[in-house]
Amino acid sequence: MSMFLEYNKAIKNYTKFDDWYLWVQMYKGTVSMPVFQSLEAYWPGLQSLIGDVDNAMRTFLNYYTVWKQFGGLPEFYNIPQGYTVDKREGYPLRPELIESAMYLYRATRDPTLLELGRDAVESIEKISKVDCGFATIKDLRDHRLDNRMESFFLAETVKYLYLLFDPDNFIHNDGSVFDVVITPYGECVLNAGGYVFNTEAHPIDPAALHCCRKRKEEQWEVEDLMREFYSLKKNKKFPLKRTSDHGEGESAKDPEDASSEKGGEKRNTKKSTHSLLSCPSQSFNSKLAVLGQVFLDNT
């Protein structure tokens, strides 16, 4: 928190202008681009988590005006001109503004945030819905669509919309309800709330993380390795094959090999070229994604 507050102070001093946050030069702090990028729309939600609700709402309302102007957030929005930036007019159904609405609604219960949720649902249904899913909006100016749907639309955007309109969801638990679980390592309190979302909004229970850290991680790793070793030893189906230390075409025999051959059995001494754990190689086209736009390797 101490680190974040230090960064937050610099952000306010150098990038904040009239409740917008502009791009600035890293070393001088001067404005480099007077734009709003849609990925920045998570910021009001983060502000709400530290109690800076008033500033968060003012910035959120700025972003909401952009949504109402186009029916979505363009990748880049030129603030002085009040319009999209060339070649950044698309909206790939990103979740950041809706994420902020969810967190801010938990903090304020302001119905304006539900209005944003309603507008988002209606815009996405009307503009981007196709027979097989929800397409990226290639250009918000005329609502042309692209032939793609990003994974984060289902993982994040729809999930945050659902949570915005479901105030009693277990994700919103305030700690008043929880489960006590007895494990081999002691008693754990789980499902008490305070969930942390990872990059694509998969919820992580911090209480479970705390419980798992009660014993030394190294000790757990050793125990897991020992269990795996004895499990493999018990269920081993593939005998290890001996490999020759001599040159190619030569074979070395030890007394056990000789005795087995005499008994009419032959052991394979040829070195195996295939791992028991392997994946088939698959051809692919390398791609480079820059600000949401994908470029093939031949461009």
Residues comprising the binding site? Answer: 199
Q: Is 291 left (phi over 0), alpha (psi -120 to 50) or beta?
A: left
With 0-12 / 13-18 / 19 or more C-beta atoms within 10 angstroms meaning exposed / middle / buried, residue 271 is: exposed
What angle separates helix 111-123 from helix 96-108, to the nearest 10 degrees?
150
Q: Which residues contact 204 (CB under 8 A, 6 or more apart)?
A: 195, 196, 197, 198
Number of C-beta neighbours around residue 277 at 10 A? 5
State in Å, rounded, how far the first CA of the chain is from the last one.
Answer: 44
Is residue 238 within 8 Å of 276, Cβ to Cβ? yes
Q: How many residues does the chain have?
A: 299
Dist CA 19 CA 44 (whole Å): 10
Q: Annotated binding site for Ca(2+): which residue ranges?
A: 199
